[in-house]
């Protein structure tokens, strides 16, 4: 789970609001607000809450209020979006962590939203079923939300069953072979991009994506070992792609080279110090760019394997 940004930690300390993993839970009047901002995206806030009944007229009035506030206060730039009854208010102002007035601006924004909700007759509601009423807060997959007792119980049972199923279903071994097959397929775009004279992070992303798809297609186990298997396959694929890229270049420059000879030559040349140094340099750059391209995907796999998205608790 991503760590909360410095700004959220400051906001929690100064307002005595609950900080949980990547999110902040603020109670303002009758309403709960989940505020998210991570150390990876410190200059963006996402504010979530659920209210009912959310009519088109109420939405338009809220949009007008936010537009007026945006024009009046330069520290807050916002867009209102509606998702399954949840109001998703996205604010962005760089840099949040260094804007001295931001804690007060965000607190005023939440207070203003709560007042507008009350003026429009909007009631706080459960994030999942939209049942009106003042419900207790919960962390759902690390995200602070308001959940009624019924939904909390149902989600707890469902997530527990899914976690248990993930532990029993699938196999790391079949997942490894699937990831390897995907990684080998991913060598093709890597070599094609390399023939254009580039080592691109995009190629690493494609290779990691195909390894991930292969892992799942071969019913690999969803567990903590999953990202390590895909990462290992990614490294092996980069090594293979580097050597095969040299072989392909040889055959393109001189069609007289046979496939077997072109494959063996880079291996034989490893005994030459200059060639060894050059190949290590290429491997280092390849691994670097593959890591840059695949970091987000591997990190998401790590969270999924650890069951971070299948956690729920009252806060």
Let me know if 88 is exposed, middle or buried by CB neighbors in 10 A (0-12, 13-18, 19+).
middle
Calculate mean pLDDT across residues 96-121. Answer: 82
Q: Where are the beta strands (DSSP E) in the chain?
A: 18-20, 23-28, 31-36, 44-52, 78-83, 86-92, 123-124, 137-140, 143-146, 312-314
Answer whether residue 80 shows pLDDT above 60: yes
Calculate mean pLDDT across residues 19-36. Answer: 84
Calculate mean pLDDT across residues 186-191. Answer: 90
Mean pLDDT of the chain: 84
pLDDT of residue 250: 85
Answer whether residue 97 shows pLDDT above 60: no
pLDDT of residue 309: 74
Report the distance separating Cα 244 and Cα 231, nearest Å. Answer: 20
Write down the H helix ranges in 132-225. 149-168, 172-195, 201-217
pLDDT tens for each residue of 40-78: 666 677 888 899 888 889 989 998 888 887 666 655 667
Share of the chain above pLDDT 70, in %: 87
Could you tell me the CA-to-CA distances from 280 to 53, 195, 196, 268 in Å, in that order? 63, 18, 20, 15
Token pair for 162: 């899914």
Answer whether residue 186 shows pLDDT above 60: yes
- Least confident range from 177-191, 210-224, 291-305: namely 291-305
pLDDT tens for each residue of 194-207: 877 666 677 888 89
Residue 160 phi/psi, 5-degree rounding, is: -65, -40
- Least confident range from 82-86, 136-140, 168-172: namely 82-86
Q: Which of 144, 117, 143, 152 shows the shortest CA–CA distance to 30?
A: 117
pLDDT of residue 54: 86
Cα 68 from chain centroid (whole Å): 32
Q: Which domains does the chain have, with CATH numbers?
A: 6-162 (3.30.1460.10), 169-310 (no CATH)
Token pair for 129: 């079923």
141 or 158: which leads in pLDDT: 158
The answer for residues whose C-beta is within 8 angstroms of residue 96's C-beta and 6 or more apart is 5, 7, 37, 42, 43, 44, 45, 102
Torsion-angle region of 16 (φ positive above 0: left; ψ -120 to 50: alpha; else: beta): left
pLDDT of residue 150: 94
Token pair for 21: 């993993």
Residue 281 phi/psi, 5-degree rounding, is: -65, -45
Answer whether residue 95 shows pLDDT above 70: no
Report the distance separating Cα 184 and Cα 102, nearest Å. Answer: 49
pLDDT tens for each residue of 145-172: 889 999 999 999 998 888 888 778 889 9
Calculate mean pLDDT across residues 282-290. Answer: 86
Calculate mean pLDDT across residues 309-314. Answer: 82
User: Per mean pLDDT, which of 31-35, 232-236, 286-290 is the most reliable?
Assistant: 232-236
Report the distance separating Cα 257 and Cα 255, nearest Å. Answer: 5
91 or 315: which leads in pLDDT: 315
pLDDT of residue 93: 59
pLDDT of residue 226: 93
pLDDT of residue 277: 92
pLDDT of residue 235: 93
Calculate mean pLDDT across residues 20-40. Answer: 80
pLDDT tens for each residue of 231-249: 999 999 999 998 898 888 8
Calculate mean pLDDT across residues 272-289. Answer: 88
pLDDT of residue 307: 77
């Amino acid at each position: 789970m991503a760590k909360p940004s410095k700004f959220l930690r400051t906001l929690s300390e100064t307002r005595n609001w609950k900080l949980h993993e990547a999110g902040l839970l603020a109670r303002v009047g009758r309403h709960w607000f989940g505020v998210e901002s991570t150390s990876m995206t410190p200059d963006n806030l996402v504010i979530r809450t659920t209210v009912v009944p959310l009519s088109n007229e109420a939405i338009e009035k809220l949009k007008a209020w936010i537009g007026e506030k945006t024009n009046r206060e330069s520290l807050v730039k916002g867009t209102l979006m509606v998702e399954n009854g949840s109001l998703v208010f996205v604010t962005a102002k760089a840099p949040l962590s260094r804007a001295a007035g931001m804690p007060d601006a965000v607190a005023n924004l939440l207070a203003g939203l709560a007042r507008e909700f009350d003026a429009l007759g909007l009631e706080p509601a459960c994030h999942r079923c939209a049942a009106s009423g003042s419900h207790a807060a919960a962390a759902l997959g690390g995200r602070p939300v308001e959940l009624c007792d019924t939904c909390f119980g149902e989600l707890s049972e469902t997530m527990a069953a899914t976690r248990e199923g993930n532990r029993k279903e699938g196999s790391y071994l079949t997942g490894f072979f699937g990831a390897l097959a995907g990684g080998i397929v991913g060598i093709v775009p890597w070599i094609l991009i390399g023939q254009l004279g580039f080592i691109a992070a995009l190629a690493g992303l494609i290779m990691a994506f195909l390894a991930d798809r292969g892992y799942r297609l071969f019913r690999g186990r969803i567990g903590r070992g999953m990202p390590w298997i895909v990462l290992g396959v990614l490294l092996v694929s980069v090594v293979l792609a580097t050597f095969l890229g040299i072989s392909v270049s040889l055959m393109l420059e001189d069609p007289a080279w046979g496939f077997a000879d072109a494959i063996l030559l880079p291996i034989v040349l490893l005994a030459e110090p200059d060639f060894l140094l050059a190949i290590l340099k290429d491997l280092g750059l390849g691994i670097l760019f593959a890591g840059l391209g695949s970091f987000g995907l591997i990190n998401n796999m790590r969270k999924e394997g650890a069951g971070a998205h299948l956690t729920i608790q009252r806060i």
